[in-house]
Amino acid sequence: MRTLSHPYRNVFLHDAVLDACSRFPSNTAIIDTSNDRRLTYAEYGDLVSRIARNFAALTRPGSVIAIYLANSWEFAAACHAATLAQCIPTPLNPSYREREVRYQLENSGAAILISDGPLIKDMDLAGLPALQRIFTTRQHAAGAAPFDDLLKPTSHPLPAPGQPASATLAALPYSSGTTGLPKGVMLSHENLVANAYQFIRPTELASPRAGEITLCFLPLYHIYGLNVILNPSLFLGATLVLMPRFDVDRACDLITRESITWLPMVPPVMNALSHAAEAGKFPRDHHVRYAKSGAAPLAPELPRRFTELTAIKVAQGYGMTEASPVTHVGFIEPGRYRPDTIGHPVAETRCKLRCDDGAEVDVTSPAPPNGKLETGDWKPQFAEGELLMRGPQFMLGYWNAPEATAAALRNGWYHSGDVARVDSGGFFQIVDRRKEMIKYNGFPIAPAEVEACLLEHPQVRDVGVIGRPDPSTGELPIAFVVLRDGDLGSPKLAGELGAWVSDRLTKYKQPQEVRFVASIPRNPSGKILRRDLRSLL
């Protein structure tokens, strides 16, 4: 097992960022394409410090600060300022509807909300007992103060850390985990800093580096955008080009205009850029060193096609919010280039496979220089099983959810719910998923959340939601519905039920198909037998 060469013990996230601001003051830190604002590291550090002091004047250490914004410099600065003020940032998906926003604000106990006028214009956020202040960044909303108030100079002191970095929360992103409704994932400063340095691998080509110019259209509220792109880039003194959302024509233009060198993406984006290259839209004179794919399974043919069209190699990675998120990442060096795999575990990450017979086998031993595991270290019959992992990047647990924490973290090992295969060279592949969560374009959908929403419809008696494999999105949510009073359903009602979900939850959670059935298969304890529902597909 490899060890981390960079120290991460008791390093606070904001200290690593502010250290870069001191070392690279004249470098461009962030280019916000939504308003064409360019911030140097010196300017960014000053903004973070000012916002942090104003947060400290308004809150107490340990308070939760919610950030409900699209990609922007304000999102990044508010996040790092929150931790500098010894608060906990919890990011929200800017496509969330009122129902989802209220749930996360209430569940997290957020004291401050940072958003923008159009996002909260028609929302009723009254009655949230912990919420004290709302700030809007660019357009005003009733009941909110301008974000500029947080930029005013103040001499209010910054609180000192009350606990070590390993015990102090630096982020509270929400994830569905392996089952159930979204839960706050408690990530410490040490979790995030360790994982950023696990991903920054100085001796390997498929790693961000100083001088990198990164195009970031992946959302910062998602752990991929937050701790695979934002934090490592700022640690290195690199330049981050922020897009509020992905647009293929705009992305192609920025790749040329800003001389992009690193391109993190998800499989649907890779597919879109491949189509753009076929149409002659992707720039031929680009400076992209390599692309990284993550957040969703990558079909083997897609990176081959993308590289053939653009001459850009692809390193596939794997992880989850609970791991800050990276646990495995591939290579682009000749001899180790295997974009059809998720590569090797990152430094200081141990892996075991839990086989069908219950045996747990440690498969962390790295392959020796000849590329083969030595006799005795490898047993072919243990080449596949549920992936269990441990390392410094794994969460402290789920926010106010001890039972879910105990189910995911057992004896210090995180149980992923994913079935992995390892070959004799130590390369991992994910071959199946046992957990319930649906992955749509890399975004998690909790079946229980969609089911709860549908059960509120007056004509629905029972419902089960599963994911159907889809080559372009990964999975599509499909709802099996039992209606009241023996109603057999109709295409019109199916459309109404889809719209019912879309009106209450973010659009990608809307079932792409509604099937009416006589009953939902359940075990004696009432748990939905999703495997039986999948057989109906």
Q: Which two tokens stand for residue 18?
A: 């502010």
Q: What does DSSP assign to residue 367?
A: P
Decide if pLDDT at 206 tops 90: no
User: How many residues make up the chain in this entry?
Assistant: 537
Mean pLDDT of 57-83: 98
Residue 304 has pLDDT above 50, yes or no: yes
Beta strands per DSSP E along 395-529:
397-398, 409-410, 413-422, 428-433, 438-440, 443-445, 460-470, 474-483, 513-516
For residue 281 the two structure tokens come to: 């839209």
What are the residue boundaries of the structural domains of the chain, listed by start? Answer: 13-349+391-400, 350-390+401-433, 438-535
Name every residue whose Cβ is closer than 8 Å to that of residue 238 and which is 6 or more positions away in sequence: 27, 208, 209, 210, 211, 212, 213, 214
Q: pLDDT of 322-361, one tens digit each?
A: 999 999 999 999 999 999 999 999 999 999 998 877 788 8
Residue type, 211: G
Of these ranges, 345-349, 383-387, 432-436, the one predicted with the greatest mean pLDDT is 345-349
CATH of the domain spanning 438-535, picked from 3.30.300.30, 3.40.190.10, 3.40.50.620, 3.40.50.970: 3.30.300.30
Q: Over 60: is that where the pLDDT of 174 sits?
A: yes
pLDDT at 229 over 50: yes
The stretch 451-460 carries a mean pLDDT of: 88
What's the count of helices (H) and strands (E) in the chain, helices before strands? 15, 29
Homologous superfamily of the 350-390+401-433 domain (CATH): Luciferase; Domain 3 (2.30.38.10)
Reply yes or no on whether the pLDDT at 236 is more than 70: yes
Residues 6+ apart with CB under 8 A from 93: 100, 219, 221, 222, 443, 506
Average pLDDT taken over every residue of the chain? 91
Predicted pLDDT of residue 399: 97
**Lookup result for tokens 């106990």:** 109
- Count the Cβ atoms, other than its own, within 10 Å of residue 103: 16
Given a cut of 50, whether residue 372 has pLDDT beyond it is no
Low-confidence winner among 12-26, 130-144, 209-223, 475-489 (lowest mean pLDDT): 475-489
The yes-or-no verdict on residue 523 having pLDDT over 80 is: no
Q: Residues 314, 270: contact at Cβ < 8 Å? A: yes
Check if the beta carbon of residue 498 is closer than 8 Å to that of residue 511. yes
532 or 365, which is more confident: 532
The predicted pLDDT at position 381 comes to 43
Looking at residue 365, its pLDDT comes to 58
Ranking 23-32, 201-210, 270-279 by mean pLDDT, the lowest is 201-210
pLDDT of 416 over the 60 cut: yes
Mean pLDDT of 259-284: 93
Task: Give residue-wise pLDDT tens across range 237-251.
Answer: 999 999 999 999 999
- According to DSSP, the residues that pair with 475 across neighbouring strands are 469
The DSSP element (H or E) to which 263 belongs, if any, is: strand 262-265
Residue 374 confidence (pLDDT) above 80: no
For 105-173, give the secondary structure using H, E and C: HHHHCEEEEEECHHHHCCCCCCCCCCCCEEEECCCCCCCCEEHHHHHCCCCCCCCCCCCCCCCCEEECC
- Architecture, CATH, for domain 13-349+391-400: 3-Layer(aba) Sandwich (3.40)
At residue 369 the predicted structure's pLDDT band, cuts being 50, 70 and 90, is very low
Query: For the residues 4-23, what does the mean pLDDT come to?
Result: 93
Rounded to whole angstroms, what are the CA distances from 278 to 135, 217, 257, 261, 284? Answer: 44, 21, 20, 21, 11
- pLDDT at position 526 is 66
Residue with tokens 């924490």: 405
Decide if pLDDT at 117 tops 70.
yes
SS3 75: helix
pLDDT for 370 equals 45
pLDDT, position 525:
56
Q: pTM score, two decimals?
A: 0.86
CA distance 267 to 265: 7
With cut-offs at 50, 70 and 90, classify the pLDDT of residue 21. very high
What are the beta bridge partners of residue 406? none
Q: What is the pLDDT of residue 487?
A: 80
Is the Cβ–Cβ distance between 404 and 184 less than 8 Å?
A: no
pLDDT at site 179? 60
Burial class (CB in 10 A: 0-12, 13-18, 19+), 151: middle
Intrachain domains 13-349+391-400 and 350-390+401-433 with the same fold = no
Instruction: Give me the percent of the chain exceeding a pLDDT of 90.
Output: 73
Place of tokens 């569940």: 107
